[in-house]
Structure 1
């Protein structure tokens, strides 16, 4: 009978160990990226005043968002979401790269915006003319992007 008791105890220990491993694995943090932001090296290949909408598309690709004013400027939007166990996903970083084009589709400006303490900040700007007046649109993109409930959008 002792052999049978040892076998049951061994199975119980294995079951408890497997359960602990599953619980620990389920509680690990997962970071997911949403959207697309071109890397800085690719943005540096763009030449303000020279590149056109077509050459920009060839170099870094076309974004999923574009503006409705002034010929459709391009906006690359990306965010990082932290998923932890059963908790609601939390956005930990958000960034927007705005490419401004002239009426004849020549690149006028490359701007990178981020979010710091809930406020929109300019991370970098290469410009032939100032476009600060359009920052409110960028703020709307950055603020509203965080309101998307990913689990509801995916049907879960």
Structure 2
């Protein structure tokens, strides 16, 4: 994390009352967004979830992960358009990695669209490597888009 990101962003656990703000970011970012119910179900079942914001400002992004049996899976990481390129995504990713380490996960997996160059650059910067491709994984306006499966060895 850059010193600038340390100063600007605060990452904390997502709470149920954060869900409307998270859903608003999700809906502004994706053509096929998760619903409010999906986010609430993720919190209900115990997925790890975080939000990022300036000190007392509105939520600018979020991340959700599943961590169990030595493996972590980043399910969703998104930053509001106005906050992109300022270190918020890196702060969220570092929170996910740190939690996975605390829970002794050996590996962190994620899927990313090949067309999402900014996200792919972030993941490469944090040591993720391409492990495979999931055909037709994501819905898109023109049909479906593959997902790249990335992984990072963590811990040890």
User: Structure 2 length normalisation: TM-score?
Assistant: 0.31
**Higher RCO, Cα 8 Å, sep 6+:** 2
User: Structure 1 length normalisation: TM-score?
Assistant: 0.31
